[in-house]
Amino acid sequence: MKLALDLKAYMKENTENSLVVLGFLLLLSIYGLLDSFNEDEVLELFAFVSQHKIAIELFGTLGFTNKVSVRMMWLLVFLVQNSEIGTLKL
């Protein structure tokens, strides 16, 4: 948990490093730490990792697919595959 909190603090200062954000999301997924963080803030982090194909898998692993309509999910898949979600303002 301490590592996740440290990564979150580091990300606030260095949002341009998508690998740090990806590492944070992987940490949340592997250790089941999503409940310890604000889900809306975590969801917004996917804009920073859209260029990584694992982002779609992490989106599902963290349980966001159950909270997003099928139509919205297809839109997210399209945007991630076309690397355009990273340019959206959330």
For the stretch 8-37, pLDDT in tens is: 888 887 767 888 899 999 999 999 999 999
Taking residues 43-58, report their average pLDDT: 85
Count of all residues that appear for the chain in the document:
90
Least confident stretch, 24-33, 39-48, 55-64, 66-75:
66-75
- 22 and 54 Cβ atoms separated by less than 8 Å: yes
| Cα distance between residue 20 and residue 10, in whole Å | 8
Domain positions in the chain: 2-87
pLDDT greater at residue 18 or residue 85: 18
Residue 65 confidence (pLDDT)? 76
Residue 32 confidence (pLDDT)? 93
CA 89, distance to chain mean position in Å, is 15
pTM: 0.70
Measure the CA angle with vertex 35, ends 30 and 40; round to 5°.
105
pLDDT greater at residue 34 or residue 83: 34
For the chain, the average pLDDT equals 80
Give the residue from 37, 39, 87 showing the smallest Cα distance to 66.
39
